Amino acid sequence: MAAQTFALPDLGEGLTEAELVTWKVAVGDTVALDQVIAEVETAKSLVEVPTPYAGTVLVLHGAEGETLPVGSPFITVGEPGDAAEPPAEGAQSYREEERAGTGSGNVLIGYGTSESSGSGRRRRGRRAAGTAEQPPVPDAAPVASAPASPSAPAGSAAAAGRVSGFAPRVINPLVRRLARDHGVDVATVNGTGPDGLVMRADVLAAARGAAPAAGVGTAGTQAAPAAQGIASSGQPAGGLDARSGLGIAARTPITGVRKVIAETMSRSRREIPEATVWVDVDATELLALRKGIRPDANGRRPSVLALVGRFAAAGLQRVPELNARIETTADGGQELVTFDGVNLGIAAQTDRGLVVPAVEHAERLSARELDAAIGALVAKARDGKATPAELGRGTFTLNNYGVFDVDGSAAIINHPQAAILGLGRIKERPWVVDGQLCVRQITELTLSFDHRVCDGGAASAFLRFVADAIERPGEALAEL
């Protein structure tokens, strides 16, 4: 058979590159259909990549530790002696290959294996400087195209897919899952993305029975502009920095999670006019209540973080403006979007950087259930196994910086959310109770909020609700 080159697929909503962590195969190995061939690290998680082709590995297009753009050649598979040929210009790209309905159907992100193959001049898959192709436009910034009407002729993109037997053009696992959750048949959806690609907005529009606005993003999906900084001096490590006069110890590229953190935090500072309120809270009664809770079968009691998280979820139902985000409409206006439920994000420090996995519908869980959910999700995130959906679905963030033995922090809001609640360390301090000076367990709560979504009165009301619940936890839990 002719050699077939598999391009690095889109591994999550809006991701444009991935770092190759480990090859699971070597040149000359025989691989089966859907066999895991590599592990890559995106800006959000570690992902195992299967091959849509069976045969002998001819070329591995990249070295471990290298960052590869989405759509670039990843692996070439064929028979021994076949020429190792990457996809030629005009040949099927990884998006187009998905349309073929003749493959295994067992796919990573809606990938199908195709019987056809590209041909082109023989060359190494890694691009030379100055000849790199532009990566495909990510879902975060779709290119507008005219959507076909439901009654369009068979020549339209959607109709052509149905008539010719091609699979619908969906490359994103989140979009497929969204379609399943809403009972939408993606084969009936007219995609507004590049070349008729079905986007998240198309599925949501189909679920509502409305036509999507092609190419119109929201505050949560618009691509952030490139971060600005001091221009590189070009001096390598070991050279002398002209600005400070000091030697340059190292130059470390900002990639992966650190790059996403930098972009998200920079965008938050640019777009969100944030304000911060804080209050010292007596947590003595909360600690006593927790100590009195019967341990579960594993000998575990709900953590302080879980108890505070449960109070926060209840408070957000009373002040829903903080459980929201601002979106930009098609006409350039803005809308405040509030939610029916609380997806509670938990800021977690990992070896890969700061990530914020979110517990779905935290308001429906007991403190014990929330504690278990937080523990499982944070452990998954620290192992690098949290999915893009788990890392991106939060509507409000809880940050326990007390684990770093500090009292407070004016935290940056996790864009596009509207607020973040911080919990400082709990420490014995002198405190006045009923006119008497005594030693109590005191913590500090800090709330940073988007001043566009509410005024200080609403933010203070939420913070005071959580503080009162901590100081009188028995009464609070009786109301939940």
- Which is nearest to 394 in space by CA: 451, 462, 324? 324
Top-confidence residue, 374 or 175: 374
Instruction: Supply the pLDDT for residue 150.
Output: 41
Q: State CA 156 to chain mean position distance.
A: 33
pLDDT in tens, 103-133: 344 334 333 333 333 333 333 343 433 344 4
Instruction: Supply the pLDDT for residue 387.
Output: 85
Mean confidence (pLDDT) of the chain:
78
Amino acid at the residue 91: A
- The 8-class DSSP code of residue 137 comes to P
Instruction: Supply the pLDDT for residue 83.
Output: 61
Instruction: Supply the pLDDT for residue 113.
Output: 37
Q: Which of 229-238, 278-287, 302-311 bottoms out in mean pLDDT, i.e. has the lowest?
A: 229-238
The segment with the largest mean pLDDT, out of 84-88, 159-163, 198-202, 330-334, is: 330-334
Report the catalytic residues: 451
Report how far residue 216's alpha carbon sits from residue 230's, in angstroms, rounded to the nearest whole number: 32
> Stretch 310-335: mean pLDDT, rounded?
94
Instruction: Supply the pLDDT for residue 366.
Output: 94
> Stretch 17-46: mean pLDDT, rounded?
86
Amino acid at the residue 428: E
Instruction: Supply the pLDDT for residue 231.
Output: 62
pTM of the shown model: 0.60
pLDDT in tens, 406-447: 998 888 999 999 999 999 999 999 999 999 999 999 999 999
pLDDT band at 152 (very low <50, low <70, confident <90, very high): very low
Alpha helices in 240-340 (DSSP H): 256-271, 284-292, 304-318
pLDDT band at 456 (very low <50, low <70, confident <90, very high): very high
Going from the C-alpha of 183 to that of each of 233, 333, 361, the distances in angstroms are 54, 31, 21
Q: Please check the confidence at residue 193 and state whether its pLDDT lies above 80.
A: no
Going from the C-alpha of 313 to that of each of 73, 126, 130, 279, the distances in angstroms are 45, 49, 52, 18
Q: What is the DSSP string of 183-196?
A: T--GGG----SGGG
pLDDT in tens, 274-303: 999 999 999 999 999 999 999 998 899 999
Top-confidence residue, 378 or 65: 378
Report how far residue 355's alpha carbon sits from residue 226's, in angstroms, rounded to the nearest whole number: 21
